[in-house]
Structure 1
Amino acid sequence: MFNKGSKLYGIITGVCPKCHEESMYTNKNPYAVTQLFNMHDNCSNCKTKYKIEPSFFYGSMYVSYGVGIAFAVAAFVISYLLFNSSLNVSIVAIVASQILFYPIIVRVSRNIWINLFMSYDKSLAKR
């Protein structure tokens, strides 16, 4: 399920969706906020072009909405149902989770978006 070659592997690790050999991002750390959106143009292993067309990753904004909602629901469930917090504290937990996990949400959304359009090709992987 989380093995090299699966969509989930590509989404979680942020590697090239075609060969799964290198990170698509110039800095793997999403919390290096000034470099959050910086990506390589092509994969150095298989030469896959990441930006299929101009403004390709604008579509990931739609995905980030859903991912953000998932984080918000998780924050609510943890704070309100698990810790029996008040509704006000739960709202603060939701806002805090959105701020704290913003870089993760952005990266995961981009990874999901590109993996919707490209699939792993075993023949391109390093041997």
Structure 2
Amino acid sequence: MSKISSVQSILKAKCPQCREGHLFPVSVFSFKKLSAINHNCSVCQANLNPEPDFYYGAMYISYAFSVALVITALTAINILIEEPELWMYLTTVLVGNLILFPAMLRYSKVLYLYALGKLKYRGY
């Protein structure tokens, strides 16, 4: 029986039903198999793909993450640099998106599964 909270299980990308099994076959921050998600939980055998093309809706969450990154980067540049140039904005946003892309893509899937996956925590 898992003793971790739902927030911890989301951050660790664990199964929403048992909070022990991994959602992804590789690390959340890995650039390998970016779109791969386990079909079933290795611990409780919960179906992690409730419907065909279920995770297409996670694109909206990923888009929100990207917009939040852009707004944060632009605000930080404006605060830290007196007269920023266009290349500073573009470079910061591009590099930030490239580095954080795996995490944004995968955490959007995690949040989407937790919100709409109809898998409730069972404390076994």
1:5 touches 1:122 (CA, 8 Å); kept in 2? no
What residue number does 2:123 align with? 123
TM-score normalized by structure 2?
Answer: 0.83
Amino acid at match of 1:4: I
Shift of 1:9: 2.0
Where 2:18 maps in the other structure, the secondary structure is: coil
Shift of 1:45: 1.4
2:25 touches 2:36 (CA, 8 Å); kept in 1? yes
2:13 touches 2:23 (CA, 8 Å); kept in 1? yes
1:69 matched to 2:67? The reply is yes
What residue number does 1:4 align with? 4
Would the alpha carbon gap of residues 101 and 85 (structure 1) be closer, same or farther in structure 2, given more than 3 Å must change?
A: farther
What residue number does 2:47 align with? 49
Q: Give structure 1 stretches of 5+ with no counterpart.
A: none
RMSD of aligned Cα (Å):
2.0
What is the number of equivalent residue pairs in this alignment? 120
What residue number does 2:37 align with? 39
Identity %: 22
What residue number does 2:89 align with? 90
Shift of 1:41: 1.0
Would the alpha carbon gap of residues 46 and 96 (structure 1) be closer, same or farther in structure 2, given more than 3 Å must change?
A: same
Shift of 1:91: 2.9
What residue number does 1:18 align with? 17
Shift of 1:78: 2.4
2:22 touches 2:42 (CA, 8 Å); kept in 1? no
Q: Deviations over 1:44-74 (max 9, x none)?
A: 2111101100000111001111011111122
Separation in 2, partners of 1:18, 1:4: 12
2:21 touches 2:44 (CA, 8 Å); kept in 1? no
Q: Give structure 2 stretches of 5+ with no counterpart.
A: none
Q: Deviations over 1:68-111 (max 9, x none)?
A: 11111222222221344604112321122112211111011111
Separation in 2, partners of 1:4, 1:83: 42
Where 1:123 maps in the other structure, the secondary structure is: coil
